[in-house]
A and B are shown apart, each in its own frame.
Chain A
Amino acid sequence: MSSAIATMRHVRGFDVVKPFSLGMVILLMLPLVLLPLASIFIFGTSKGLGSFWAALTAPEAVFALKLSVVTSFYATLFNVLFGLLAAYVLSRYMFLGRTAIIVIISLPTAIPTAVAGFALLLLWGKYGLIGRFLPPDLQIMFTPYAIILANIFVTFPLAFGVLMSVFETMDRSLEEASATIGATRWQTFWHVTLPSLRGAIVTGALLTFARAIGEFGSTILVSGNLAMSTQTAPLYIFSKFNEGQVEAANAVAIVLALFSFVIFFILFFARDWLEVK
């Protein structure tokens, strides 16, 4: 920041570009980002905190929030564990088709989430390619498991990408030192590799969680959107708004917004702390 300022010092006199460009940025940011966010809070609390609280503690709302948190949690857990495994294998071993695998893993980032949900339905649904062979009690579509599956499908590339980039830039001599000292592969991973990945794991987990908790497009297709059963928080907002219950929708929206704020600030400010050299 300070260096950026220092490099601009050579501009003499009044710099017209600066206030103009800065003004443009603020003018754009206000209607695009800040005002919509502000309105959630202004509207949601306009009838007093009492009614906000009542809307938030309605059983359906609580269930939806809980379901979102729980499904996102499992998706996050999966992403971190398998993201680590995939990134480790793909960065440490060179084999034919390695690049193809990396591309395929990253592909879902580019797929519209509604398409992702639809694809899952066509595969696992009652009449899907695999789903049609499954007995009724193993049908996962329109259950919370479908939500987790959709979350993973959509968010895995995020966690994988973060972990992979750290694996690839990691100083290999640390692992080599550990090996020459006499550590097994597992000991090296546990004592040397993993601690260096701390920041990446937290980042990957938070990104996954933030993305999963707000996931809408794929969830609405695979979950069935049943209140008190497979309705996540974003679906709840959508449904209540459609039913005209703006307040109910607004209360949950505020909580979701706060969630993402917290995650965002952790990601933004805790990086340095997580990445101590």
Chain B
Amino acid sequence: MMPKQAADDRGFVESAAAGADGAARAQETAEVEVAASVRALSKSFKKTRVLEDVSFDVGVGEALVLLGASGSGKTTILRIIAGLEQPDSGSVILHGRDVTDLPARERGVGVIFQSYALFPRMTVQENIGYGLRIRGRRRREVKEKVKSLLELVHLEEHRKKYPHQLSGGQQQRVAIARTLAYQPQVLLFDEPFGALDAQTRVRLRREIRALLREVNVPAIFITHDQEEALELGDRIAVLHAGHLEQVGTPEEVYNRPETEYVATFLGAANLLLGVAAGGRVELGTASIEAGAESARFREGQSVKLVFRPEDVHLSLTGALPEGCRRLTNGVIEEKHFVGAYERLTVRLDLVARLPSAGEPPLYEVTINTPETSLGVPIFVTRPKPEVSATALKVGDRVAVCLTAFRVLPNFALASERASRTLDTQK
């Protein structure tokens, strides 16, 4: 639910006051703003649970992205909202009206199917006018509406063509226009760009965003592409095995992931196993100041330190910038140039605690063995300006600090490896 999400832990960066404030604001406006919502949806096919207690809202004029891996239940949610599938429990509410028991045709939702599902024996204009014709509107009215919709989606010169004579992108616009004709309460897009090449995808999703702003119809997009989700959505709902993991703005889900799955599914993330202790997180031989982040964990609880490769700062001198929290030291093990940034693997000294007196702080922690495979590897990315300011090479010892991170509970078994690095993007 929207107010709840806003009220949920705002992360350590923002003050508690700002969080409470945001929650209160959302609470006030939630009643008017919600265009569509699903409540506690559950669904099983045969004996397999496909959806488990899924709830979320879509505000008026808002675009929500349902993001999840293949088979996570995205299409099933969409079909339930559209009335093409019946939930086992839970309800679908459109503009304050419970439509759970209404058949698809009485719900007034627009579905843009992955295959577009244009009627093959109808021309573009017949496809677009279909919703009005079956509603028995007068021919003049249908004609005018179709004309304006053709203009809206820029397909005037294709109006007499049949769907198979159009490109994928054009077909998609016909599909959208076909649903806009009857003023749907909400638009549902099932993997709208799945069938298109990468370049067209990017262009089309900008076009669709612009179009949606113009018509001001709330939309739910389905995708398993995280980049697409970040760009399309006003908010993103991350679905994992039929379970909603987190709902929030792109910034929220990216910067303040609530779960390990969200952290790793949206972009790359380093995960380090640790223990919450006295406002800090202890990671073997190292520890990091966690402040409010660790406040919700009891003393000694097993936690995971989650941070993105771009939130790591490396320093040759040991001098750390303001606001960057020291983690430990490490050795640069690999270095790749990947265009926009530099990508490094750094092996952290997280094994032995041997601070010897008199040494500079950089060497506070050392690995006192020639075995380089000890320690824990993490991924780090450095933007171009930083790369040109300080060049780093393989074998360099560096101090490692984090500009942002999350501390999440560790539900994994104790037998799990001490740490692991996940990178879903590459």
Whether B121 contacts A195 by the Cβ 8 Å rule is: yes
- Is A196 among interface residues, defined by CB-CB distance under 8 A? yes
- Is B111 among interface residues, defined by CB-CB distance under 8 A? yes
Whether A180 contacts B119 by the Cβ 8 Å rule is: no
A195 to B131, CA, bound (A): 17
Residues of chain A in range 77-113 having any CB-CB distance to chain B below 8 Å: none
Whether A191 contacts B130 by the Cβ 8 Å rule is: yes
* Closest Cβ–Cβ distance, residue B222 to chain A (whole Å): 14
- Is B43 among interface residues, defined by CB-CB distance under 8 A? no
* Closest Cβ–Cβ distance, residue A56 to chain B (whole Å): 41
* Closest Cβ–Cβ distance, residue A37 to chain B (whole Å): 37
- Is B117 among interface residues, defined by CB-CB distance under 8 A? yes
Residues of chain A in range 184-207 having any CB-CB distance to chain B below 8 Å: 184, 187, 191-192, 195-196, 198
* Closest Cβ–Cβ distance, residue A275 to chain B (whole Å): 10
- Is A9 among interface residues, defined by CB-CB distance under 8 A? no
Q: Is the interface of A mostly helix, strand, loop or mixed?
A: helix
Taking CB as reference atom, which chain B residue is nearest A198? B121
Whether A179 contacts B84 by the Cβ 8 Å rule is: yes
- Is B355 among interface residues, defined by CB-CB distance under 8 A? no
A196 to B121, CA, bound (A): 8
* Closest Cβ–Cβ distance, residue B396 to chain A (whole Å): 57
- Is A168 among interface residues, defined by CB-CB distance under 8 A? no
Task: Select B134's contact among A191, A196, A277, beta carbons within 8 Å.
Answer: A191
A200 to B115, CA, bound (A): 23
Question: Which residues of chain A are near B182, meaning CB under 8 Å?
Answer: 181-182
- Is B82 among interface residues, defined by CB-CB distance under 8 A? yes
Question: Which residues of chain B are near A181, meaning CB under 8 Å?
Answer: 105, 110, 130-131, 134, 178-179, 182
* Closest Cβ–Cβ distance, residue A49 to chain B (whole Å): 45
- Is A173 among interface residues, defined by CB-CB distance under 8 A? yes
A177 to B128, CA, bound (A): 12
Question: Which residues of chain B are near A177, meaning CB under 8 Å?
Answer: 111, 113, 117, 119
A207 to B134, CA, bound (A): 34
Interface mask (A239-277 → B, CB under 8 Å = 1, otherwise 0): 000000000000000000000000000000000000011
* Closest Cβ–Cβ distance, residue B370 to chain A (whole Å): 60
A191 to B126, CA, bound (A): 11
Whether A180 contacts B83 by the Cβ 8 Å rule is: yes
- Is B50 among interface residues, defined by CB-CB distance under 8 A? no
A179 to B103, CA, bound (A): 9
Residues of chain B in range 82-141 having any CB-CB distance to chain A below 8 Å: 82-84, 103-111, 113, 115, 117, 119-121, 130-131, 134-135
* Closest Cβ–Cβ distance, residue B267 to chain A (whole Å): 32
Taking CB as reference atom, which chain B residue is nearest A182? B105
Whether A176 contacts B113 by the Cβ 8 Å rule is: yes
A196 to B163, CA, bound (A): 14
- Is B296 among interface residues, defined by CB-CB distance under 8 A? no
Question: Which residues of chain B are near A276, meaning CB under 8 Å?
Answer: 120-121
Whether A187 contacts B111 by the Cβ 8 Å rule is: no
A181 to B105, CA, bound (A): 6
Known contacts A180-B111, A181-B131, A181-B179: A174-B117 contact under CB 8 Å:
yes
Given A191-B119, A195-B120, 8 extra CB contacts under 8 A: A173-B113, A179-B104, A180-B107, A180-B109, A181-B134, A182-B106, A182-B131, A196-B121
